[in-house]
């Protein structure tokens, strides 16, 4: 690189967001009166001033090329004076100040095969992690699962079909859960099912023994001073892989036993009921690449039961709590196993201490 580089700067932080707000937002900042959904992928926000801001939302796979971004900016230049944003669920939003440009924008997006939607009571984009694209601890892929699930449930994204309330999906490729799937309506989490293998030489060279021991939630790891390594009590290990994140010499991946678990019934936000964790629904499904058909059909099964049983505005977890988990397993025909009964830190809280339940 022969050309001269510009002067680097440090600790400047991100640019000021104010430099990226369209004039209609600057003029109505903090003074929005209401908004209305216009279609599955468009809405209007109206300020107290009467000003209108139109938003058109499209799906993004999150893992995108610079050319994908340039396509978006070209569209934003044409219809939005160059103003666009992304949502917390990785969708793209075109911010249109001129009402007459909304329909032409929608027409161009349709023609270019963008998936328009993500607004309202349906399924928005899936929050997810890196998976096999970029992570050392991934027990499954993330982008692949997102693709097959979003293809399957496209109608709930575009608004062609609606659900009783929003259903937020998430994919985490290991139990580290960078994707925070633990409070989602339905989510996939990559899991292992066998204890890590100990590479004695590697532990000696690359690992700090005390932090490796401390990383284990069940106290399965103890020191092995003779070998300057560690010992693992296999019967105490629940294969979380946290030790592998701390010590690379404890590989845990095993293609024939790795796969995913399905959890459901979580939510964020305090609307109607407190935020809640997702709970285990299916303890294991295989990594049947490239399309994970067992995962897709399990999601379909849960959604079908929810759609049939929930009342309007009731989130999946609220519906399950109303009918009871015993009814949920009956309606979905999902087998209930030893793995479903908690034996970790909050186990006792989850045992039924009442003789009132349903058959």
Partner 1 sequence: MSQNKYETPLLDQLESGPFPSFVTEIKRAAAKNDSANDLLGVLERCFKERKTHWKHGGIVGVRGYGGGVIGRYSDVPDDFPGVAHFHTVRVNQTSGFFYTSKALNEICDIWDKYGSGLTNFHGSTGDMILLGTKSDALEPLFAELSSRGWDLGGSGSCARTPSCCVGPGRCEWAMCDTLDINYDLTQAFQDELHRPMFPYKFKIKTAGCAADCIASVARADLSIVGTWKGNIQIDQAEVKKYADGGMDINAEVVGMCPTKCMSYDGNELKVDDPNCSRCMHCITKMTKALRPTGPFGATIMVGSKAPFVIGALLSHVIVPFMPLEPPYDNLKDLIQKMWDWWDEHGKNRERIGELIVRRGMREFLEACELDPIPQMVFEPRRDPFYFWKEDELN
Whether the upstream peptide bond of residue 290 has omega within 30° of 0, thus cis, is yes
CA pair distance 121, 111, nearest whole angstrom: 25
**In the bound complex, what is the minimum distance in angstroms from residue 111's beta carbon to partner 1?**
14
CB nearer to partner 1: pick between 37 and 357: 37
CB nearer to partner 1: pick between 183 and 295: 183
**In the bound complex, what is the minimum distance in angstroms from residue 96's beta carbon to partner 1?**
12
Angle at the Cα of 335 from the Cα atoms of 329 and 340, rounded to 5 degrees: 80
Angle at the Cα of 45 from the Cα atoms of 43 and 48, rounded to 5 degrees: 160
CA pair distance 309, 145, nearest whole angstrom: 26
Would you give the distance in Å from CA 326 to the centre of its chain? Answer: 26
**In the bound complex, what is the minimum distance in angstroms from residue 158's beta carbon to partner 1?**
8
Q: Which residues contact 217 (CB under 8 A, 6 or more apart)?
A: 238, 240, 242, 344
**In the bound complex, what is the minimum distance in angstroms from residue 106's beta carbon to partner 1?**
16
CB atoms within 10 A of CB 32: 15
CA pair distance 55, 151, nearest whole angstrom: 23
Report helix, strand or coil for 55: strand
Note the residue count of the chain.
359
**In the bound complex, what is the minimum distance in angstroms from residue 324's beta carbon to partner 1?**
19
CB nearer to partner 1: pick between 253 and 332: 253
Question: DSSP assignment, residue 170?
Answer: E
Query: CA–CA distance from 196 to each of 97, 177, 208, 241, 309 (Å)?
Result: 56, 19, 16, 7, 42
CB nearer to partner 1: pick between 190 and 305: 190
**In the bound complex, what is the minimum distance in angstroms from residue 204's beta carbon to partner 1?**
16
CB nearer to partner 1: pick between 144 and 196: 144
**In the bound complex, what is the minimum distance in angstroms from residue 290's beta carbon to partner 1?**
4
**In the bound complex, what is the minimum distance in angstroms from residue 359's beta carbon to partner 1?**
27
Q: Which residues contact 157 (CB under 8 A, 6 or more apart)?
A: 40, 59, 115, 117, 118, 122, 123, 124, 125, 150
CB nearer to partner 1: pick between 24 and 305: 24
**In the bound complex, what is the minimum distance in angstroms from residue 225's beta carbon to partner 1?**
21
CA pair distance 48, 43, nearest whole angstrom: 17
**And the tokens for 107?**
């027409």
CB nearer to partner 1: pick between 25 and 332: 25
CA pair distance 151, 272, nearest whole angstrom: 31
CB nearer to partner 1: pick between 62 and 328: 62
CA pair distance 252, 230, nearest whole angstrom: 15
CB nearer to partner 1: pick between 294 and 330: 294
**In the bound complex, what is the minimum distance in angstroms from residue 228's beta carbon to partner 1?**
20
**Which of 134, 111, 119 has its CA nearest to residue 62?**
134
CB nearer to partner 1: pick between 153 and 332: 153
């Amino acid at each position: 690189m022969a050309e001269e580089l510009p002067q680097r700067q440090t600790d400047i932080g991100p640019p000021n967001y104010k430099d990226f707000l369209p004039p209609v937002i600057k003029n109505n900042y903090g003074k929005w009166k209401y908004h209305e959904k216009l279609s599955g992928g468009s809405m209007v926000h109206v300020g107290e001033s009467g000003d209108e801001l139109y938003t058109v939302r499209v799906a993004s796979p999150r893992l995108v090329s610079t050319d994908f971004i340039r396509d978006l900016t070209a569209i934003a230049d044409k219809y939005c004076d160059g103003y666009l944003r992304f949502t917390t669920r990785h969708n793209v939003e075109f911010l249109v100040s001129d009402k007459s440009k909304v329909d032409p924008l929608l027409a161009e997006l349709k023609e270019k095969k963008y998936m328009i939607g993500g607004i309202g009571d349906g399924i928005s984009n899936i929050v997810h992690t890196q998976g096999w694209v970029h992570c050392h601890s991934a027990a499954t892929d993330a982008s692949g699962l997102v693709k097959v699930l979003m293809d399957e449930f496209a109608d709930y994204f575009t608004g062609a079909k609606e659900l009783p309330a929003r259903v937020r999906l998430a994919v985490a490729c290991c139990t580290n859960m960078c994707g925070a799937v633990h409070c989602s309506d339905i989510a996939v989490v990559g899991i292992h099912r066998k204890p890590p293998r100990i590479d004695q030489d590697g532990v000696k060279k690359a690992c700090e023994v005390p932090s490796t021991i401390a990383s284990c939630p069940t106290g399965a790891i103890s020191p092995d001073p003779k070998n300057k390594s560690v010992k693992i009590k296999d019967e105490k290990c629940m294969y979380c892989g946290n030790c592998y994140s701390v010590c690379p010499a404890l590989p845990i991946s095993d293609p024939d036993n790795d796969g995913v678990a399905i959890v459901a019934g979580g939510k964020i936000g305090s609307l109607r009921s407190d935020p809640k964790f997702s709970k285990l629904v299916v303890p294991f499904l295989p990594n049947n690449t490239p399309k994970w058909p067992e995962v897709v059909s399990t999601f379909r099964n849960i959604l079908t039961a929810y759609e049939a049983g929930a009342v309007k505005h009731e989130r999946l977890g609220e519906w399950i709590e109303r009918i009871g988990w015993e009814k949920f397993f009956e309606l979905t025909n999902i087998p209930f196993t030893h793995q479903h009964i908690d034996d970790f830190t909050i186990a006792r809280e989850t045992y039924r201490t009442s003789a009132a339940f349903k058959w």
